[in-house]
A and B are shown apart, each in its own frame.
Chain A
Amino acid sequence: MPEPIRAISQPTWGDPDLEALERLTAALGEGGVLTHKVDRDELTIVVAPERWIDAALHLRDAEGYDFLSDVVTADWLDYGGDVAGYWGTEAFGGRDMNRSGSWGNAAVPKPLGDKRFSVSCHLLKLMTVEPGEYRRLRIQTWLDDGEELPTLIPLYPSADYHEREAWDMMGIRFAGHPNLVRILLPDYWEGHPHRKDSPVGGEPVQFSDEV
């Protein structure tokens, strides 16, 4: 008699901290929190880039989010497109699996912001709660090419390497970062390889005569 298949047990983020969202919205006032999303148990709060520090400060001091686990960036250039429909239909662009698409007849959801880059922080309540009641949330902000974001180092020192990597790989500048230089790539590298318009392959081979 095989045992029943059990529902998936993902690493949990804890319950979405909607109370913190409410208080953050109230604290930042008009134009602070732009939108939020609860998707697959993950709470994403989108804040305006000029309120980035205020949001982090509120979450750290008033809500007890004391652990910055990661700063992640993404380039949403040409994300999704306007296709929708069942697979294989004409509106969907035939059967091209490399094209964006949704399951079923719904359109691909729009990104949470309307600019090109998203910068997100995964924040964690760690020391301020009992073990077993950890909460995790993601605050996100959206930037266009060339726009700057204030650095989080004074609030969360662990942001240092992550912000350097974001500059190196995605070309996002953090104002006030004391040492914003490339971290993984050599200093003379041109471009930011994780951008979607950065080519794959074809770059000159280092230490060869082709350079």
Chain B
Amino acid sequence: MATTERTGEQRAWPTLAVPSPTPSITVPSTDNPDILEINLGPNHPSTHGVLRLVVNLDGEIVVGLRNELGYVHTGIEKNIEQKTYWKAITYVPRMDYLSFFSGEVAFCMAVEKLLELEVPRRAEYLRVIFQELTRLHSHLIFLGTGSVDLGGIALLFYCFRDRDYVLDLFEMVTGQRMHPRYGQVGGVAEDIPRGFDRKARQTIAYLRGRIDEYEDLIGQNPIWRQRTVGVGVMPPEFAIQMAQSGPNVRASGIPWDLRTANGGYGAYRELDYQPVLGRNGDVFDRFWVRVQEMRASLDLIEKCLDGLPEGPYISDDRKVVLPPRHELHTSMESLIHHFKIVTEGYRVPPGEVYAPIESARGEFGFYMISDGSAKPWRARLRPPSFVTLSSLAALATGHYLADLIAILASIDPVMGDCDR
């Protein structure tokens, strides 16, 4: 069992003021003609997608920073308004493509809130299993690509190999590796197949050992510690002012986790879970918190497998839920319901809701307005990466350009989530 020490004692928080007048932009304070303006991106391996950073450099020090977003904006929210609720679920995992299943759950929960639909307990547990698997998937990719940004090539290959074992579990249940469309309004689309329990436990046991090794690989590495400890510190006041959420605020010691806030949601209400907290809010702690969260995810999946209740995996409200497949061959009514739900959809009562969940990168929720037709009047995602990137300029200014790469990797933005 690895016992990585954290960055030692709590250090005093530095002061980090929100840039003025624009909180997301820093500008050089002098008009030194030697200050260079360079573009990082839009196509740069360190930007994890298509993000363009306009950096002002004084020597190697970042003195000004501006983000240019929108390179992968595809209008998914507008598209959702044109689709029935049933069809729109397919779009949602394409937003945050690394924690894809969180998107499906967030969307389904918003619709269920509008419908005031009851979800069976088994479905809640299955949702937690796959939300945690998708969190593992996202954090593994974060760890791999983040370590490449800091010069550790080996971890990328290890993490991508292990991510494939996580995706194998998705494939076993849904037939798809990414974007499984497993979430369904009222529950999940399929029950888990025979043998899933055994395979999941094997994967958990395997990943436990692996995560210990990865933690040693980064936590005990003096070069890694030199690059990360004390870099890009996000003080708690700053994190609250800039509305950060997810592992980034937990690295700063704020116990803000929607899985436990007010008792949590879904099956998290019945699972004993404590948020993983960092101490110093620097790049090291942001990596450390995510590594610990992977462990916590494995524990949660194991608890869910142990306590998985029997019963239906989806609600039995035939007005919104597809009938079981086997009934289609014998029941005319079921065939009609199936046809109508897929083609013209179902009506959702009018209302205005916002249902946030904890995705791998923070508060992730749909604001949805229904006018009583079969399509949402308005669907708006609260994008955690979008909010996270607005703090990048303040975090990186004053650091070396190489540290900017480390900070960007550590706040873990996904551009599909940011630009939507």
Contacts and interface: CB of A to CB of B under 8 A. Distances in A.
Interface of A: 1-12, 14, 39-40, 42, 44, 66-70, 72-76, 79-80, 87, 97-103, 108-109, 120, 122, 126-127, 131-134, 138, 153, 156-158, 160-161, 165, 178-179, 182-186, 193-194, 198, 200
Contact of A103 (B112, B118, B265, B349): B349
Given A42-B354, A131-B260, A194-B77, A108 B112 contact: no
What 9 pairs across the A-B complex have the smallest Cβ distances?
A158-B243, A157-B23, A184-B70, A178-B21, A11-B265, A97-B374, A100-B371, A2-B311, A184-B73
Contact of A11 (B21, B124, B357, B380): B357
Q: How extensive is the interface on chain B, given as a class? A: 35 or more
Interface string B381-420: 0100011011000000000000000000000000000011
Contacts of B116: 8, 40
Contacts of B54: none
B356 interface: yes
B248 to A, nearest CB: 13
Interface of B: 18, 21-25, 69-70, 73, 75, 77-78, 82, 84, 109, 112-114, 116-122, 124, 236, 240-243, 245, 254-256, 258, 260-263, 265-266, 269, 309-312, 315, 344-345, 347, 349-357, 363, 365, 367, 369, 371-375, 377-378, 380, 382, 386-387, 389-390, 419-420
User: DSSP majority for the A interface?
Assistant: loop
Nearest to A109: B350
Nearest to B369: A74
Contact of A158 (B70, B242, B371): B242
Contacts, number: 189
Given A72-B367, A158-B23, A6 B109 contact: no
Given A127-B254, A194-B77, A69 B262 contact: no
B154 to A, nearest CB: 36
B242 A157 contact: yes
18 contacts: A6-B124, A10-B109, A11-B109, A11-B356, A39-B351, A74-B377, A98-B375, A99-B373, A100-B371, A108-B350, A109-B350, A131-B260, A153-B21, A157-B242, A178-B22, A179-B24, A194-B77, A200-B82
